[in-house]
Structure 1
Protein backbone atom coordinates (compact mmCIF):
# COMPACT_ATOMS: atom_id res chain seq x y z
CA UNK A 1 0.00 0.00 0.00
CA UNK A 2 1.23 3.55 -0.74
CA UNK A 3 1.65 6.28 1.89
CA UNK A 4 -2.02 7.07 1.58
CA UNK A 5 -5.04 4.86 1.91
CA UNK A 6 -7.12 3.90 -1.12
CA UNK A 7 -10.88 4.36 -0.73
CA UNK A 8 -12.60 2.58 -3.58
CA UNK A 9 -15.91 3.35 -5.22
CA UNK A 10 -17.04 -0.11 -4.14
CA UNK A 11 -16.44 0.79 -0.49
CA UNK A 12 -18.26 4.06 -1.07
CA UNK A 13 -21.23 2.18 -2.47
CA UNK A 14 -21.26 -0.05 0.61
CA UNK A 15 -21.24 3.02 2.81
CA UNK A 16 -24.20 4.49 0.96
CA UNK A 17 -26.18 1.26 0.93
CA UNK A 18 -25.62 0.10 4.50
CA UNK A 19 -24.84 3.28 6.45
CA UNK A 20 -21.23 2.22 6.98
CA UNK A 21 -18.94 5.02 8.21
CA UNK A 22 -15.19 5.35 7.80
CA UNK A 23 -13.57 5.44 11.24
CA UNK A 24 -10.30 7.33 10.96
CA UNK A 25 -7.36 7.45 13.34
CA UNK A 26 -4.92 10.26 13.85
CA UNK A 27 -2.71 9.37 10.90
CA UNK A 28 -2.66 7.42 7.68
CA UNK A 29 -3.69 3.83 8.32
CA UNK A 30 -6.40 1.26 7.92
CA UNK A 31 -9.99 2.40 7.59
CA UNK A 32 -12.36 0.49 9.83
CA UNK A 33 -15.86 -0.18 8.55
CA UNK A 34 -18.50 -0.32 11.23
CA UNK A 35 -22.26 -0.36 11.04
CA UNK A 36 -23.94 2.69 12.51
CA UNK A 37 -27.48 3.35 13.65
CA UNK A 38 -29.96 4.67 11.13
CA UNK A 39 -30.18 8.35 10.25
CA UNK A 40 -33.32 8.67 12.34
CA UNK A 41 -31.37 7.73 15.47
CA UNK A 42 -28.72 10.39 15.03
CA UNK A 43 -25.47 10.71 13.17
CA UNK A 44 -22.59 8.33 12.68
CA UNK A 45 -19.43 9.34 14.46
CA UNK A 46 -20.87 10.19 17.84
CA UNK A 47 -19.57 8.04 20.65
CA UNK A 48 -21.81 6.80 23.48
CA UNK A 49 -22.63 9.37 26.09
CA UNK A 50 -22.31 12.30 23.75
CA UNK A 51 -18.51 12.28 23.31
CA UNK A 52 -17.42 12.20 19.72
CA UNK A 53 -14.89 9.81 18.28
CA UNK A 54 -12.87 12.64 16.76
CA UNK A 55 -13.09 14.89 19.80
CA UNK A 56 -13.34 12.69 22.92
CA UNK A 57 -13.21 15.77 25.14
CA UNK A 58 -16.57 17.01 23.96
CA UNK A 59 -19.66 16.13 25.96
CA UNK A 60 -23.30 16.64 25.18
CA UNK A 61 -24.98 18.30 28.11
CA UNK A 62 -28.73 17.66 28.05
CA UNK A 63 -30.76 20.83 28.32
CA UNK A 64 -27.84 23.17 27.68
CA UNK A 65 -28.80 24.37 24.23
CA UNK A 66 -30.83 23.57 21.17
CA UNK A 67 -29.73 20.41 19.40
CA UNK A 68 -27.57 21.12 16.34
CA UNK A 69 -28.95 20.45 12.89
CA UNK A 70 -27.63 18.17 10.19
CA UNK A 71 -27.28 15.11 12.40
CA UNK A 72 -30.29 13.41 10.82
CA UNK A 73 -31.16 12.63 7.23
CA UNK A 74 -34.89 12.65 8.05
CA UNK A 75 -36.59 15.08 10.39
CA UNK A 76 -39.99 16.77 10.79
CA UNK A 77 -41.49 15.01 7.80
CA UNK A 78 -38.67 15.66 5.33
CA UNK A 79 -35.79 13.51 4.06
CA UNK A 80 -32.61 14.52 2.26
CA UNK A 81 -32.29 12.15 -0.71
CA UNK A 82 -28.67 12.37 -1.86
CA UNK A 83 -28.68 10.86 -5.33
CA UNK A 84 -24.89 11.10 -5.67
CA UNK A 85 -23.53 9.46 -2.49
CA UNK A 86 -20.05 8.77 -3.93
CA UNK A 87 -17.66 10.77 -6.11
CA UNK A 88 -14.02 10.53 -7.19
CA UNK A 89 -11.59 12.93 -5.56
CA UNK A 90 -10.25 15.54 -7.96
CA UNK A 91 -12.90 14.86 -10.59
CA UNK A 92 -15.69 17.32 -11.37
CA UNK A 93 -19.09 15.78 -10.63
CA UNK A 94 -22.68 16.88 -11.04
CA UNK A 95 -24.02 16.40 -7.51
CA UNK A 96 -27.78 15.77 -7.39
CA UNK A 97 -30.20 15.58 -4.47
CA UNK A 98 -33.78 16.27 -3.44
CA UNK A 99 -35.68 17.13 -0.27
CA UNK A 100 -38.53 14.61 -0.11
CA UNK A 101 -41.81 15.00 1.76
CA UNK A 102 -42.20 11.82 3.78
CA UNK A 103 -46.00 11.98 3.61
CA UNK A 104 -46.12 11.91 -0.19
CA UNK A 105 -42.72 10.54 -1.22
CA UNK A 106 -42.39 13.46 -3.63
CA UNK A 107 -39.67 16.13 -3.76
CA UNK A 108 -40.40 19.47 -2.14
CA UNK A 109 -40.79 22.25 -4.71
CA UNK A 110 -41.97 25.22 -2.60
CA UNK A 111 -39.30 26.93 -0.53
CA UNK A 112 -39.07 30.17 1.40
CA UNK A 113 -36.01 32.29 0.70
CA UNK A 114 -33.57 32.64 3.57
CA UNK A 115 -30.51 34.85 3.20
CA UNK A 116 -31.52 35.49 -0.44
CA UNK A 117 -31.51 31.77 -1.37
CA UNK A 118 -34.07 28.94 -1.30
CA UNK A 119 -31.44 26.47 -0.10
CA UNK A 120 -27.87 26.60 1.15
CA UNK A 121 -25.69 23.53 0.55
CA UNK A 122 -22.72 23.08 2.88
CA UNK A 123 -20.12 20.35 2.32
CA UNK A 124 -17.46 19.63 4.94
CA UNK A 125 -14.92 16.85 5.27
CA UNK A 126 -15.10 14.75 8.41
CA UNK A 127 -11.74 16.11 9.56
CA UNK A 128 -13.07 19.66 8.94
CA UNK A 129 -10.10 20.48 6.72
CA UNK A 130 -12.30 21.12 3.66
CA UNK A 131 -15.38 23.33 3.41
CA UNK A 132 -17.62 24.49 0.59
CA UNK A 133 -20.73 26.67 0.60
CA UNK A 134 -22.72 26.10 -2.60
CA UNK A 135 -25.99 27.33 -4.05
CA UNK A 136 -27.39 24.62 -6.34
CA UNK A 137 -30.05 25.05 -9.01
CA UNK A 138 -33.51 23.51 -8.59
CA UNK A 139 -35.34 21.86 -11.46
CA UNK A 140 -39.13 22.01 -11.78
CA UNK A 141 -39.45 18.47 -10.38
CA UNK A 142 -37.69 19.47 -7.16
CA UNK A 143 -34.29 17.93 -7.95
CA UNK A 144 -31.32 20.10 -7.00
CA UNK A 145 -27.96 19.93 -8.79
CA UNK A 146 -24.58 21.63 -8.59
CA UNK A 147 -21.09 21.12 -9.97
CA UNK A 148 -18.75 19.76 -7.30
CA UNK A 149 -15.05 18.91 -7.11
CA UNK A 150 -13.64 17.48 -3.88
CA UNK A 151 -9.84 17.78 -3.82
CA UNK A 152 -9.17 15.02 -1.27
CA UNK A 153 -10.39 11.48 -0.74
CA UNK A 154 -12.30 10.68 2.41
CA UNK A 155 -15.63 11.00 4.17
CA UNK A 156 -17.72 14.16 3.89
CA UNK A 157 -21.00 15.45 5.25
CA UNK A 158 -23.54 17.26 3.06
CA UNK A 159 -25.89 19.75 4.75
CA UNK A 160 -29.07 21.12 3.17
CA UNK A 161 -30.15 24.27 5.01
CA UNK A 162 -33.65 25.37 3.93
CA UNK A 163 -37.13 26.49 4.96
CA UNK A 164 -40.21 24.84 3.43
CA UNK A 165 -42.74 27.42 2.25
CA UNK A 166 -44.92 28.19 5.24
CA UNK A 167 -42.79 26.07 7.57
CA UNK A 168 -39.80 26.38 9.88
CA UNK A 169 -36.12 26.32 9.02
CA UNK A 170 -34.48 22.90 8.88
CA UNK A 171 -31.01 21.46 8.27
CA UNK A 172 -30.72 17.86 7.05
CA UNK A 173 -27.48 15.95 6.53
CA UNK A 174 -26.23 13.01 4.47
CA UNK A 175 -22.88 11.27 4.04
CA UNK A 176 -20.78 11.63 0.90
CA UNK A 177 -17.64 9.64 0.08
CA UNK A 178 -14.79 10.67 -2.22
CA UNK A 179 -12.71 7.75 -3.45
CA UNK A 180 -8.94 7.95 -3.83
CA UNK A 181 -5.81 7.95 -1.68
CA UNK A 182 -6.77 9.18 1.77
CA UNK A 183 -4.61 10.87 4.39
CA UNK A 184 -6.55 12.48 7.28
CA UNK A 185 -5.61 15.99 8.35
CA UNK A 186 -5.34 16.94 12.03
CA UNK A 187 -7.69 19.58 13.39
CA UNK A 188 -5.83 22.92 13.18
CA UNK A 189 -4.56 24.32 16.45
CA UNK A 190 -6.35 27.31 18.00
CA UNK A 191 -5.06 30.82 17.31
CA UNK A 192 -6.43 34.35 17.57
CA UNK A 193 -6.54 35.22 13.86
CA UNK A 194 -7.07 33.59 10.49
CA UNK A 195 -5.81 34.52 7.02
CA UNK A 196 -7.97 34.36 3.91
CA UNK A 197 -6.69 35.41 0.48
CA UNK A 198 -4.53 38.22 1.88
CA UNK A 199 -7.10 39.35 4.46
CA UNK A 200 -6.59 38.92 8.20
CA UNK A 201 -9.66 38.11 10.28
CA UNK A 202 -9.74 38.32 14.07
CA UNK A 203 -12.30 36.72 16.36
CA UNK A 204 -13.61 38.13 19.65
CA UNK A 205 -16.22 36.75 22.02
CA UNK A 206 -16.97 33.34 23.49
CA UNK A 207 -18.73 30.22 22.31
CA UNK A 208 -20.53 29.08 25.45
CA UNK A 209 -22.39 25.79 26.07
CA UNK A 210 -26.11 26.41 26.50
CA UNK A 211 -25.78 30.18 26.47
CA UNK A 212 -26.27 32.55 23.55
CA UNK A 213 -23.17 34.60 22.95
CA UNK A 214 -21.99 37.19 20.45
CA UNK A 215 -19.01 36.57 18.20
CA UNK A 216 -17.43 39.52 16.41
CA UNK A 217 -15.10 39.01 13.49
CA UNK A 218 -12.94 41.89 12.32
CA UNK A 219 -11.56 42.09 8.78
CA UNK A 220 -8.33 43.90 7.89
CA UNK A 221 -6.15 44.04 4.77
CA UNK A 222 -2.52 45.16 4.70
CA UNK A 223 -2.93 46.17 8.31
CA UNK A 224 -5.88 48.50 7.63
CA UNK A 225 -9.51 47.90 8.68
CA UNK A 226 -11.84 46.99 5.82
CA UNK A 227 -14.79 49.37 6.06
CA UNK A 228 -16.43 48.70 2.71
CA UNK A 229 -17.53 45.08 2.88
CA UNK A 230 -20.15 44.15 0.31
CA UNK A 231 -23.47 42.45 1.11
CA UNK A 232 -23.36 38.67 0.78
CA UNK A 233 -26.46 36.53 1.33
CA UNK A 234 -28.30 39.50 2.81
CA UNK A 235 -25.57 40.35 5.34
CA UNK A 236 -21.97 41.49 5.53
CA UNK A 237 -20.92 37.98 6.43
CA UNK A 238 -22.23 34.42 6.62
CA UNK A 239 -21.02 32.13 9.41
CA UNK A 240 -21.26 28.31 9.53
CA UNK A 241 -20.38 26.54 12.79
CA UNK A 242 -19.78 22.76 12.96
CA UNK A 243 -19.04 20.62 16.01
CA UNK A 244 -15.92 18.49 15.71
CA UNK A 245 -16.64 14.78 15.76
CA UNK A 246 -20.28 14.45 14.73
CA UNK A 247 -20.36 17.66 12.63
CA UNK A 248 -23.43 19.04 14.37
CA UNK A 249 -24.57 22.16 12.48
CA UNK A 250 -25.16 25.21 14.69
CA UNK A 251 -27.81 27.83 14.08
CA UNK A 252 -26.07 31.21 13.69
CA UNK A 253 -27.83 34.59 13.48
CA UNK A 254 -26.15 37.66 11.96
CA UNK A 255 -26.29 40.88 13.96
CA UNK A 256 -28.05 43.34 11.68
CA UNK A 257 -28.19 43.61 7.92
CA UNK A 258 -27.14 46.04 5.19
CA UNK A 259 -29.42 49.05 4.90
CA UNK A 260 -30.95 48.82 8.39
CA UNK A 261 -29.45 52.16 9.36
CA UNK A 262 -27.20 50.82 12.13
CA UNK A 263 -25.10 47.97 10.70
CA UNK A 264 -21.81 49.17 9.27
CA UNK A 265 -20.02 47.47 6.33
CA UNK A 266 -17.04 46.46 8.42
CA UNK A 267 -14.57 46.02 9.79
CA UNK A 268 -16.58 44.18 12.44
CA UNK A 269 -19.17 41.48 11.63
CA UNK A 270 -21.24 40.18 14.54
CA UNK A 271 -23.17 36.94 15.01
CA UNK A 272 -25.09 35.28 17.84
CA UNK A 273 -24.98 31.52 18.41
CA UNK A 274 -25.16 28.91 21.17
CA UNK A 275 -22.95 25.86 21.55
CA UNK A 276 -25.13 22.83 22.37
CA UNK A 277 -22.32 21.20 24.36
CA UNK A 278 -18.75 21.58 25.49
CA UNK A 279 -16.20 20.59 22.88
CA UNK A 280 -14.32 21.83 19.86
CA UNK A 281 -16.00 23.64 16.96
CA UNK A 282 -14.95 24.92 13.55
CA UNK A 283 -16.25 28.25 12.33
CA UNK A 284 -16.25 29.22 8.66
CA UNK A 285 -16.81 32.89 7.83
CA UNK A 286 -17.74 33.96 4.29
CA UNK A 287 -17.39 37.65 3.51
CA UNK A 288 -17.38 39.64 0.28
CA UNK A 289 -14.98 42.40 -0.68
CA UNK A 290 -13.80 43.85 -4.00
CA UNK A 291 -16.27 41.63 -5.83
CA UNK A 292 -15.01 38.31 -4.43
CA UNK A 293 -16.14 36.03 -1.60
CA UNK A 294 -13.45 34.92 0.84
CA UNK A 295 -13.56 32.34 3.64
CA UNK A 296 -11.73 32.37 6.97
CA UNK A 297 -11.71 29.25 9.18
CA UNK A 298 -11.42 29.11 12.97
CA UNK A 299 -11.08 26.43 15.63
CA UNK A 300 -12.90 27.32 18.85
CA UNK A 301 -13.23 25.51 22.15
CA UNK A 302 -16.51 25.81 24.09
CA UNK A 303 -16.02 25.20 27.81
CA UNK A 304 -18.01 25.82 30.95
CA UNK A 305 -17.01 29.00 32.85
CA UNK A 306 -15.31 26.98 35.61
CA UNK A 307 -13.18 25.18 33.01
CA UNK A 308 -11.96 28.39 31.41
CA UNK A 309 -11.29 30.58 34.46
CA UNK A 310 -7.61 30.86 33.53
CA UNK A 311 -8.12 31.27 29.79
CA UNK A 312 -8.25 34.56 27.86
CA UNK A 313 -11.64 36.03 26.96
CA UNK A 314 -10.91 35.89 23.22
CA UNK A 315 -11.79 32.51 21.65
CA UNK A 316 -9.23 30.64 19.62
CA UNK A 317 -8.99 30.81 15.87
CA UNK A 318 -7.14 28.83 13.25
CA UNK A 319 -4.53 30.64 11.19
CA UNK A 320 -4.10 29.83 7.53
CA UNK A 321 -6.29 29.75 4.48
CA UNK A 322 -9.63 28.01 4.35
CA UNK A 323 -9.61 24.56 2.85
CA UNK A 324 -12.13 25.19 0.12
CA UNK A 325 -15.06 27.31 -0.94
CA UNK A 326 -17.50 27.40 -3.85
CA UNK A 327 -20.56 29.30 -5.02
Structure 2
Protein backbone atom coordinates (compact mmCIF):
# COMPACT_ATOMS: atom_id res chain seq x y z
CA UNK A 1 0.00 0.00 0.00
CA UNK A 2 2.89 2.40 0.80
CA UNK A 3 4.45 1.71 -2.61
CA UNK A 4 1.11 2.25 -4.33
CA UNK A 5 0.52 5.61 -2.63
CA UNK A 6 4.03 6.73 -3.55
CA UNK A 7 3.42 5.77 -7.17
CA UNK A 8 0.14 7.69 -7.25
CA UNK A 9 1.82 10.79 -5.82
CA UNK A 10 4.61 10.54 -8.41
CA UNK A 11 2.11 10.22 -11.26
CA UNK A 12 0.11 13.20 -10.05
CA UNK A 13 3.18 15.38 -9.63
CA UNK A 14 4.30 14.60 -13.16
CA UNK A 15 0.88 15.53 -14.53
CA UNK A 16 0.25 12.09 -15.99
CA UNK A 17 -3.20 10.58 -16.22
CA UNK A 18 -4.68 8.39 -13.57
CA UNK A 19 -7.47 6.48 -15.18
CA UNK A 20 -8.58 4.57 -18.22
CA UNK A 21 -11.92 5.30 -19.81
CA UNK A 22 -13.14 1.75 -19.56
CA UNK A 23 -11.47 0.92 -16.25
CA UNK A 24 -8.58 -1.45 -15.69
CA UNK A 25 -8.60 -5.18 -16.16
CA UNK A 26 -8.65 -7.19 -12.92
CA UNK A 27 -5.17 -7.53 -11.52
CA UNK A 28 -3.70 -4.95 -13.93
CA UNK A 29 -4.12 -1.77 -11.87
CA UNK A 30 -4.85 -0.46 -8.39
CA UNK A 31 -7.52 1.88 -7.13
CA UNK A 32 -7.22 5.62 -6.85
CA UNK A 33 -8.20 6.97 -3.44
CA UNK A 34 -7.12 10.62 -3.23
CA UNK A 35 -5.72 11.60 0.16
CA UNK A 36 -5.15 15.03 1.73
CA UNK A 37 -1.99 15.70 -0.28
CA UNK A 38 -3.90 15.32 -3.53
CA UNK A 39 -7.02 17.14 -2.39
CA UNK A 40 -5.01 20.10 -1.13
CA UNK A 41 -2.87 20.46 -4.26
CA UNK A 42 -2.63 24.09 -5.46
CA UNK A 43 -1.76 25.71 -8.76
CA UNK A 44 1.89 26.72 -9.04
CA UNK A 45 1.72 28.72 -12.27
CA UNK A 46 1.65 32.52 -12.21
CA UNK A 47 -2.11 33.24 -12.36
CA UNK A 48 -1.69 36.40 -14.44
CA UNK A 49 0.61 34.97 -17.13
CA UNK A 50 -0.29 31.27 -17.33
CA UNK A 51 -2.22 30.06 -20.41
CA UNK A 52 -5.96 29.77 -19.98
CA UNK A 53 -7.33 26.85 -18.00
CA UNK A 54 -4.21 26.26 -15.89
CA UNK A 55 -5.03 28.25 -12.76
CA UNK A 56 -8.06 28.56 -10.51
CA UNK A 57 -7.52 32.29 -9.82
CA UNK A 58 -6.94 35.03 -12.36
CA UNK A 59 -7.58 38.80 -12.44
CA UNK A 60 -9.20 38.56 -9.01
CA UNK A 61 -11.69 35.86 -10.00
CA UNK A 62 -11.60 32.35 -8.55
CA UNK A 63 -13.15 29.00 -9.46
CA UNK A 64 -14.27 27.07 -6.34
CA UNK A 65 -15.53 23.49 -6.84
CA UNK A 66 -18.15 22.62 -4.22
CA UNK A 67 -16.86 19.03 -4.14
CA UNK A 68 -13.52 17.79 -5.47
CA UNK A 69 -14.11 14.04 -4.99
CA UNK A 70 -16.80 12.63 -7.29
CA UNK A 71 -17.97 9.07 -8.12
CA UNK A 72 -16.84 7.01 -11.08
CA UNK A 73 -19.25 5.63 -13.69
CA UNK A 74 -22.46 6.89 -12.14
CA UNK A 75 -24.57 10.03 -12.70
CA UNK A 76 -23.46 12.94 -10.56
CA UNK A 77 -23.03 16.68 -10.93
CA UNK A 78 -20.17 19.15 -11.01
CA UNK A 79 -20.96 22.16 -8.83
CA UNK A 80 -18.82 25.28 -8.45
CA UNK A 81 -18.86 29.01 -7.77
CA UNK A 82 -17.10 31.84 -9.56
CA UNK A 83 -16.17 34.54 -7.07
CA UNK A 84 -14.68 38.00 -7.34
CA UNK A 85 -11.93 39.51 -5.22
CA UNK A 86 -14.53 40.15 -2.50
CA UNK A 87 -15.29 36.43 -2.25
CA UNK A 88 -18.88 36.92 -3.39
CA UNK A 89 -20.26 34.82 -6.30
CA UNK A 90 -20.20 36.73 -9.58
CA UNK A 91 -23.70 37.06 -11.00
CA UNK A 92 -23.10 39.56 -13.82
CA UNK A 93 -21.69 37.40 -16.61
CA UNK A 94 -21.94 38.24 -20.28
CA UNK A 95 -24.41 35.91 -21.97
CA UNK A 96 -26.66 35.17 -19.01
CA UNK A 97 -27.35 32.16 -16.80
CA UNK A 98 -25.95 29.51 -19.16
CA UNK A 99 -22.96 31.44 -20.54
CA UNK A 100 -20.11 29.65 -18.75
CA UNK A 101 -18.13 27.31 -21.03
CA UNK A 102 -17.73 24.25 -18.81
CA UNK A 103 -15.89 21.03 -19.63
CA UNK A 104 -13.91 18.27 -17.96
CA UNK A 105 -10.91 16.34 -19.22
CA UNK A 106 -8.82 13.62 -17.64
CA UNK A 107 -5.18 14.52 -17.08
CA UNK A 108 -3.96 12.16 -19.81
CA UNK A 109 -5.97 14.26 -22.32
CA UNK A 110 -8.63 11.55 -22.60
CA UNK A 111 -12.35 11.91 -22.21
CA UNK A 112 -12.89 15.62 -22.89
CA UNK A 113 -16.55 16.30 -22.25
CA UNK A 114 -18.37 19.62 -22.68
CA UNK A 115 -20.97 20.17 -19.96
CA UNK A 116 -24.14 22.25 -19.73
CA UNK A 117 -23.95 24.32 -16.57
CA UNK A 118 -26.75 26.47 -15.16
CA UNK A 119 -26.51 29.01 -12.37
CA UNK A 120 -28.81 28.64 -9.37
CA UNK A 121 -30.21 31.39 -7.11
CA UNK A 122 -27.46 30.59 -4.60
CA UNK A 123 -24.75 31.54 -7.13
CA UNK A 124 -23.67 27.90 -7.59
CA UNK A 125 -23.23 26.59 -11.13
CA UNK A 126 -24.27 22.97 -11.63
CA UNK A 127 -23.80 20.58 -14.54
CA UNK A 128 -24.77 16.89 -14.79
CA UNK A 129 -21.94 14.51 -15.67
CA UNK A 130 -20.96 10.84 -15.60
CA UNK A 131 -17.21 10.29 -15.38
CA UNK A 132 -16.34 7.36 -17.68
CA UNK A 133 -12.97 6.71 -16.05
CA UNK A 134 -11.30 7.06 -12.67
CA UNK A 135 -8.41 9.43 -12.12
CA UNK A 136 -7.60 13.11 -11.81
CA UNK A 137 -9.81 15.31 -14.00
CA UNK A 138 -9.48 18.97 -14.89
CA UNK A 139 -12.56 21.17 -14.64
CA UNK A 140 -12.65 24.19 -16.98
CA UNK A 141 -14.91 27.22 -16.58
CA UNK A 142 -14.65 29.85 -19.30
CA UNK A 143 -16.61 33.09 -18.87
CA UNK A 144 -16.53 36.87 -19.24
CA UNK A 145 -17.61 38.85 -16.18
CA UNK A 146 -19.51 41.96 -17.24
CA UNK A 147 -16.97 44.74 -17.61
CA UNK A 148 -14.08 42.34 -17.05
CA UNK A 149 -11.68 40.21 -19.12
CA UNK A 150 -12.44 36.90 -20.80
CA UNK A 151 -11.28 34.16 -18.43
CA UNK A 152 -10.84 30.39 -18.46
CA UNK A 153 -10.21 29.00 -14.99
CA UNK A 154 -9.38 25.43 -14.03
CA UNK A 155 -9.43 23.18 -10.96
CA UNK A 156 -8.73 19.52 -10.31
CA UNK A 157 -11.37 16.92 -9.48
CA UNK A 158 -10.70 13.41 -8.19
CA UNK A 159 -12.59 10.28 -9.22
CA UNK A 160 -11.64 7.18 -7.19
CA UNK A 161 -11.68 3.77 -8.87
CA UNK A 162 -9.67 1.42 -11.11
CA UNK A 163 -7.10 3.28 -13.16
CA UNK A 164 -4.26 2.84 -15.61
CA UNK A 165 -2.35 5.27 -17.87
CA UNK A 166 -3.76 5.81 -21.34
CA UNK A 167 -1.61 6.86 -24.30
CA UNK A 168 -2.34 8.19 -27.78
CA UNK A 169 -0.58 8.09 -31.11
CA UNK A 170 1.41 11.20 -32.00
CA UNK A 171 -0.80 12.08 -34.98
CA UNK A 172 -4.46 11.20 -35.39
CA UNK A 173 -6.50 13.26 -37.87
CA UNK A 174 -9.49 10.97 -38.32
CA UNK A 175 -12.05 9.88 -35.77
CA UNK A 176 -15.37 8.10 -35.47
CA UNK A 177 -18.24 9.51 -33.43
CA UNK A 178 -21.27 7.23 -33.46
CA UNK A 179 -22.19 6.61 -37.12
CA UNK A 180 -20.11 9.60 -38.31
CA UNK A 181 -16.59 9.76 -39.65
CA UNK A 182 -14.72 13.04 -39.09
CA UNK A 183 -11.42 14.36 -40.42
CA UNK A 184 -9.42 17.49 -39.58
CA UNK A 185 -7.09 19.16 -42.09
CA UNK A 186 -4.69 22.08 -41.81
CA UNK A 187 -1.24 22.70 -40.40
CA UNK A 188 -0.97 24.28 -36.95
CA UNK A 189 1.45 27.22 -36.91
CA UNK A 190 2.47 28.12 -33.33
CA UNK A 191 2.52 31.84 -32.68
CA UNK A 192 0.33 32.64 -35.70
CA UNK A 193 -3.06 32.03 -37.25
CA UNK A 194 -3.80 28.72 -38.96
CA UNK A 195 -6.93 27.64 -40.86
CA UNK A 196 -8.28 24.29 -39.70
CA UNK A 197 -11.13 22.41 -41.37
CA UNK A 198 -13.27 19.57 -40.04
CA UNK A 199 -15.22 17.40 -42.48
CA UNK A 200 -18.11 15.18 -41.38
CA UNK A 201 -19.33 12.18 -43.37
CA UNK A 202 -21.53 9.16 -42.82
CA UNK A 203 -21.04 5.88 -44.66
CA UNK A 204 -18.77 7.66 -47.10
CA UNK A 205 -21.29 10.39 -47.90
CA UNK A 206 -20.94 14.06 -46.90
CA UNK A 207 -23.22 15.24 -44.10
CA UNK A 208 -24.92 18.46 -45.20
CA UNK A 209 -27.46 18.93 -42.41
CA UNK A 210 -25.20 19.92 -39.53
CA UNK A 211 -26.99 22.17 -37.04
CA UNK A 212 -25.70 25.16 -35.06
CA UNK A 213 -24.10 24.03 -31.80
CA UNK A 214 -25.72 25.41 -28.67
CA UNK A 215 -23.74 28.12 -26.93
CA UNK A 216 -21.53 29.00 -29.92
CA UNK A 217 -23.35 32.05 -31.23
CA UNK A 218 -24.59 30.25 -34.31
CA UNK A 219 -21.49 28.25 -35.32
CA UNK A 220 -21.81 24.80 -36.88
CA UNK A 221 -19.14 23.37 -34.61
CA UNK A 222 -16.97 24.01 -31.59
CA UNK A 223 -13.28 23.06 -31.77
CA UNK A 224 -11.04 23.19 -28.71
CA UNK A 225 -7.30 22.48 -28.53
CA UNK A 226 -5.81 21.14 -25.30
CA UNK A 227 -2.03 21.15 -25.06
CA UNK A 228 -0.63 17.82 -23.93
CA UNK A 229 1.36 17.99 -20.72
CA UNK A 230 -0.17 20.98 -18.95
CA UNK A 231 -3.76 20.93 -20.28
CA UNK A 232 -3.82 24.57 -21.39
CA UNK A 233 -7.13 25.02 -23.24
CA UNK A 234 -7.28 27.12 -26.42
CA UNK A 235 -10.66 27.50 -28.19
CA UNK A 236 -10.43 27.80 -31.98
CA UNK A 237 -12.45 30.55 -33.63
CA UNK A 238 -15.25 29.41 -35.93
CA UNK A 239 -15.11 31.03 -39.37
CA UNK A 240 -18.92 31.09 -39.68
CA UNK A 241 -21.16 32.28 -36.86
CA UNK A 242 -24.59 33.84 -36.55
CA UNK A 243 -26.54 30.99 -38.14
CA UNK A 244 -30.23 30.80 -37.28
CA UNK A 245 -31.38 27.81 -35.20
CA UNK A 246 -33.03 26.34 -38.30
CA UNK A 247 -29.86 26.78 -40.39
CA UNK A 248 -28.08 23.76 -41.84
CA UNK A 249 -24.61 23.33 -43.28
CA UNK A 250 -21.84 20.84 -43.97
CA UNK A 251 -19.92 18.75 -44.55
CA UNK A 252 -17.05 21.18 -43.83
CA UNK A 253 -16.64 23.39 -40.75
CA UNK A 254 -13.91 26.04 -40.81
CA UNK A 255 -11.93 27.35 -37.83
CA UNK A 256 -8.92 29.57 -37.15
CA UNK A 257 -6.31 28.33 -34.67
CA UNK A 258 -3.99 30.62 -32.74
CA UNK A 259 -1.80 28.33 -30.66
CA UNK A 260 0.80 29.74 -28.27
CA UNK A 261 3.58 27.20 -28.70
CA UNK A 262 4.93 24.11 -30.41
CA UNK A 263 3.92 20.74 -29.07
CA UNK A 264 1.26 18.10 -29.37
CA UNK A 265 -2.37 19.13 -29.02
CA UNK A 266 -5.54 17.18 -28.56
CA UNK A 267 -8.36 18.63 -30.66
CA UNK A 268 -11.97 18.09 -29.58
CA UNK A 269 -14.72 18.83 -32.10
CA UNK A 270 -18.34 19.19 -31.02
CA UNK A 271 -21.01 19.09 -33.74
CA UNK A 272 -24.77 18.61 -33.84
CA UNK A 273 -26.90 16.57 -36.27
CA UNK A 274 -30.48 15.42 -35.83
CA UNK A 275 -30.68 17.21 -32.49
CA UNK A 276 -27.87 15.09 -31.00
CA UNK A 277 -24.56 16.64 -29.96
CA UNK A 278 -21.43 14.59 -30.61
CA UNK A 279 -17.71 14.91 -29.91
CA UNK A 280 -14.77 13.68 -32.00
CA UNK A 281 -11.14 13.61 -30.78
CA UNK A 282 -7.88 14.10 -32.68
CA UNK A 283 -4.15 14.55 -32.03
CA UNK A 284 -2.26 17.12 -34.10
CA UNK A 285 1.28 18.44 -33.73
CA UNK A 286 2.14 22.12 -33.90
CA UNK A 287 5.72 22.26 -35.20
CA UNK A 288 8.02 25.24 -35.69
CA UNK A 289 7.98 26.40 -39.28
CA UNK A 290 4.51 24.99 -40.00
For Structure 1 versus Structure 2, the TM-score category normalised by the shorter chain is 0.7 to 0.9
1:126 maps onto 2:107 in alignment: yes
Equivalent residue number for residue 8 of structure 2: none
Contact 1:201-1:219 at 8 Å conserved across structures: yes
Equivalent of residue 153 in structure 2, options 172, 180, 183? 172
Unaligned runs of 5+ in 2: 2-26
Q: 1:109 to 1:256 in 2, by over 3 A?
A: same
Within the candidate set 251, 264, 272, 2:256 is matched to 272
Alignment correspondent of 1:39: 43
**Alignment partner of 2:80: what SS?**
strand
Counterpart selection for 2:74 from 74, 78, 91: 91
Distance in 1 (CA, whole Å) between partners of 2:148 and 2:277 is: 30
Residue 74, structure 1, aligned to residue 48, structure 2 = no
* 1:304-315 superposed matches below 5 A: 304-305=288-289
Equivalent residue, structure 1, for 2:91: 109
C-alpha deviation, 1:168, in angstroms: 2.5
Residue among 271, 284, 287 paired with 1:287: 271
Query: How far off is 1:163 after superposition?
Result: 1.0
> Structure 1 residue 14 and structure 2 residue 53: aligned?
no
Give the ranges of 4+ consecutive aligned residues of structure 1 lying more than 6 Å apart after TM superposition.
Answer: none
Count of residue pairs brought into register by the alignment: 259
**Separation in structure 2 between the aligned mates of residue 274 and residue 285 of structure 1, nearest angstrom:** 16
Deviation at 1:141, TM superposition (A): 2.4
The TM-score normalised by the length of structure 2 is: 0.83
How far 1:189 moved relative to its partner?
Answer: 4.3
Structure 1 match to 2:202: 221
* 2:199 is equivalent to residue 195 of structure 1: no
Check the 8 A contact 1:284/1:298 in 2, yes or no: yes
In 1, Cα distance between equivalents of 2:95 and 2:176: 31
Which residue of structure 1 lines up, in the alignment, with residue 212 of structure 2?
231
- 1:157–1:175: 8 Å Cα contact kept in structure 2? yes
How far did residue 217 of structure 1 move?
A: 0.6
Q: Which residue of 2 aligns with 1:323?
A: none
Instruction: Pick the aligned partner of 1:205 from 183, 186, 190.
Output: 186
Q: Using the alignment, how far apart are the partners of 1:190 and 1:300 within structure 2?
A: 5
Q: List runs of 5+ in structure 1 lacking aligned partners.
A: 20-37, 44-65, 309-327
CA RMSD of aligned residues (A): 2.2
The answer for the alignment partner of 1:22 in structure 2 is none
